[in-house]
Amino acid sequence: MASSTKRAPLRLIAGVAGAATIIVAFTATVSAQSGSDFLNNIDPLFAGVVAHPGNLDNTIAYAASAAAHGDIESAISTYEQLRFYNPRLAATRYQLGVLYYQLGSYAQARGYLQTALQMPDVTPELRQKIEDLLELVDKKLQPDQFSGFAQTGVRYQSNASLGAGSQTVLASGGTLNNNFVAKSDWNWFGTVGLNYLHDFQTQTGETFEASVIAYDAQQFSLHQFDIVSLNFAPVRVLRFRRATSTA
């Protein structure tokens, strides 16, 4: 009994020593790989930002890459870092406006775009881009939004009646009645679509949307094939989460 009691502490000491050996070995393996190599294995662009946070080129490259891959949140945080190091860059504020516009946070986008116009380095080309996007943002900020399209034209149809060929022979051996053979004709057609969207301007971003599409085709001669169509698209209530930040 005494011998068993003495062995228990020995087993505990051996277990602790084994765990310590594993930890030391793991630490040695990690130490053998430099911090730079470790970051490069994750993302070379991100490694450049971490290693040289003040390097403008590295940060811009990583932000553009994140935005191109759909990681808008990472792109925003990176451009915010650029703004911290140089708050007077118009291009940085413009990119933040673009990203917040993509997120549906139109008020935030407008704030960044307006301040971008006040930066001393804004070029005429960039100013035009900012003003064009501001126009879209202002439309999005309206609670009631209408959009639509219209298309019209004249076309020639070689088989407006959708009939069979004039030489078609019936099973009985007779020929097809001329009233049912293919006939050509001209027609005028027009399509109009209207979309209505109401933004409830809530924090969670609910919107109400409804659409209507009308189509009309009038034949010049074969009026029995005129087409008039009116379709209502399903009414939808959309929900999305708006991002918030400060410009």
pLDDT in tens, 74-116: 899 989 988 988 899 999 999 999 999 998 888 899 999 999 9
- Cα(239)–Cα(126) distance, integer angstroms: 33
Select from 137, 138, 50 the least CA-distant residue to 96.
137
pLDDT < 50 positions in the chain: 1-8, 10, 12-14, 16-36, 38-42, 241, 243-247
For the chain, how many helices (H) and strands (E)?
8, 4
Helices (H), 117-232: 124-140
pLDDT tens-digit series, residues 110-146 = 999 999 999 999 999 999 999 999 999 998 888 888 8
* Residue 130 token pair: 């900012």
Global pTM value = 0.52
Q: Which residue, 138, 141, 96, 139, is CA-closest to 116?
A: 96
Helix (H) or strand (E) run with residue 112 in it:
helix 106-116
